[in-house]
Amino acid sequence: MSVGIDKIGFYTPKFYIDMVDLAHARNEDPNKYLVGIGQTRQAVAPVTQDIVTMAANAAATFLTAEDKQNIEMIIFGTESGIDNSKAAAMYLQNLLELSHEARAFEIKQACYGATAGLQMAVDFVKLHPEASVLVVGADIARYGINTPGEVTQGAGAVAMLVKSNPDLVEIEEPSTFYSEDIMDFWRPLYRSEAIVDGHYSNNMYIDFFTKTWEQYQQKTNQTMNDFDAFLFHLPYTKMGIKALRTILTDDDHSQKIWQEFEAAKKYNAEVGNIYTGSLYLSLLSWLANSTNVKQGNHIGLFSFGSGAQGEFFAGRIGPAKKRLEIKDQVDEMLADRTLLSIDEYEEIFNARKPFESADYQLDTSSENANYYLLGQKNHQLIYKNANEK
Ligand code: HMG
């Protein structure tokens, strides 16, 4: 029985900044950001969007009433948690009106959380072939104004429905993984911005990719030539280029893999780092933008979460009947965004206060998403489903 991703949905907030504007404001050469980092735009989340609302907006792009009934597990991968105790999956279950006969919980391991969720979901469906699992990765990446990491910020959520006989991607066995306690990137409980040792984190990413890819080749006797595309966690799109450079040569097959990577980085370059969802945004980007996607294509996926955990695994493309529909949805969402000036972005960035105990009510007059945050009352976050009058 094949098990994997049957449906995928994406949401990113309606605001963005242009990397050329950011470069000018930070006295950098725009080509450093456009070419050296490989980002063109960056999503900016207003205070009315958090991980719960972004995840709900992403999942709502595909969930039918029947899907909602069949979901037996809701796994929320995030490193931007909104509560020290209660899982964001509970709020999501309520907002999306999902079945209560479900396990619902949150997973944290930096950008790796959604991959842990996906693998757990696949194992669960193998044991319970009639069941579906909703896996989401949602985050707001914050490094701080005028920091080296600023150009790699972003915000968004990817939601996936894992089922037997999936339309999009069958997840294969085996996968190879490597973990080690390192301090490349972390966010202490008292901070809303990450602390990062940027160049060290790049080196660790490559090191973990090399280790898991070599282990994969030994375990399976497969080589680069057995794959049609390689997809990566993309904290910024140049990171994928750096990883590919470690395995590609100038032969014809390598040229083909480079070409596929162009499609796989398109959406990530326009959104920025969305942490847990980043690898799956790249998968979506490839499915939507490559002209070579065919049933049976073999893809390699590398997931990395600082701290750190790496995993390499493979997938087989299914009929992928829904991929052009998803492309239209995402293209429209990205085209409908509003460009902010750098001053406007800084104001929004600073308005996201550290968690505080007082009641507050947000100005939601310009919200156009289905799901958004209204404010806080009696220490409880209050969410709105705009479909519910
Ligand atoms: P930096 O020090 O400002 O940049 O920070 P740089 O000086 O290293 O330059 C970047 C690149 O631009 C270099 O290319 C330059 O040569 C080039 P490279 O050597 O890397 O190939 N460059 C130019 N190119 C064209 N024209 C020019 C020009 N000038 C320079 N004029 C850094 C860069 C990525 C370190 C910083 O943005 C940062 O700290 N970002 C956050 C950390 C990060 O994203 N790490 C990635 C690996 S860790 C990871 O993926 C996990 C993560 O997602 C978190 C999680 O798991 O939760 C981050």
Question: Which residue numbers are catalytic?
Answer: 79, 111, 233
Rounded percentage of the chain residues whose pLDDT exceeds 90: 97
Whether 245 is in the pocket of ligand 1, judged by its Cβ within 6 Å, is no
In DSSP terms, 97 is beta-bridged to none
CA of 18 to the centre of ligand 1 (A): 17
pTM, rounded to two decimals: 0.98
- Report phi then psi at 10, rounded to 5: -135, 145
Tokens of 333: 């969402």
Whether 35 is in the pocket of ligand 1, judged by its Cβ within 6 Å, is yes
Whether 235 is in the pocket of ligand 1, judged by its Cβ within 6 Å, is yes
CA of 122 to the centre of ligand 1 (A): 34
Tokens of 3: 């098990």
Whether 328 is in the pocket of ligand 1, judged by its Cβ within 6 Å, is no
Q: Which domain holds residue 310?
A: 3-385
Q: What is the pLDDT of residues 115-147, one digit of tens each?
A: 999 999 999 999 999 999 999 999 999 999 999
Whether 370 is in the pocket of ligand 1, judged by its Cβ within 6 Å, is no
If you average pLDDT over residues 149-161, what whole number do you get? 98
Mutate-to-test residue for ligand 1 from 34, 37, 210, 212, highest number of ligand atoms within 8 A of CB: 37
Cα distance between residue 274 and residue 43, in whole Å: 9
Lowest mean pLDDT among 30-34, 230-234, 254-258, 364-368: 364-368
Tokens 């896996």 belong to which residue? 135
Chain centroid to CA 349: how far?
20
**pLDDT for residue 354:** 67
The tally of domains found in the chain comes to 1
Q: Does pLDDT of 160 surpass 70?
A: yes
User: Which CATH number goes with the domain that contains 68?
Assistant: 3.40.47.10
Residue nearest to atom 3 of ligand 1 (CA): 148
Q: What is the pLDDT of residues 74-129, one digit of tens each?
A: 999 999 999 999 999 999 999 999 999 999 999 999 999 999 999 999 999 999 99
If you average pLDDT over residues 235-262, what whole number do you get? 97
Q: In terms of DSSP H, where are the helices of the chain?
A: 19-25, 30-31, 51-59, 65-70, 88-96, 113-127, 198-220, 237-245, 252-271, 278-289, 323-335, 342-351
Question: How many residues are given for the chain?
Answer: 389
Taking each helix axis as running N to C, give the angle between helix 252-271 and helix 278-289, from 0 to 180 degrees, rounded to the nearest 10: 120
Q: Answer whether 307's CB lies under 8 Å from 182's CB.
A: yes
Tokens of 247: 């395995």
